[in-house]
């Protein structure tokens, strides 16, 4: 099974904290925005993460195949 990467787009997030409520082990609230906790970026295949992404009111949570993001440079979720 492919690993799934989870990320939060800070441009879309408006700070509802719904992700933190649904999956506090993976998401946290920093400076008014939801972020993925360090070391949990590859948690996208967990059911609670999929639910958090589906229920995010701003649709700021993305789940992608880890292989799809391996070749692209990306900014960290943290400020």
- pLDDT, one tens digit per residue, over 6-61 is 999 999 999 999 999 999 999 999 999 999 999 999 988 899 999 999 999 999 99
Q: What pTM was estimated for this model as a whole?
A: 0.78
- Sign of the dihedral defined by the CA atoms of residues 10, 12, 16, 20, in that order: negative
Following DSSP, what letter does each residue of the chain receive, concatenated?
---EEEEE-TTT-----HHHHH-TTTEEEETTEEEEPTT-TT-TTSHHHHHHHHH-TT--EEEEEHHHHTTS----S--
Closest CA to 70 of 37, 39, 42: 42
Mean pLDDT along residues 60-72:
73
Does the pLDDT of residue 72 top 50, yes or no? no
């Amino acid at each position: 099974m492919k690993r799934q990467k989870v990320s939060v787009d800070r441009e879309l997030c408006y700070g509802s904290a719904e992700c933190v409520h649904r999956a506090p082990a993976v998401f946290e609230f920093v400076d008014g925005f939801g972020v993925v906790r360090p070391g949990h970026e590859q948690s996208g295949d967990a059911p609670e993460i999929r639910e958090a992404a589906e229920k995010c009111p701003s649709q700021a949570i993305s789940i992608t195949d880890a292989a799809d993001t391996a070749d692209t440079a990306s900014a960290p979720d943290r400020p």
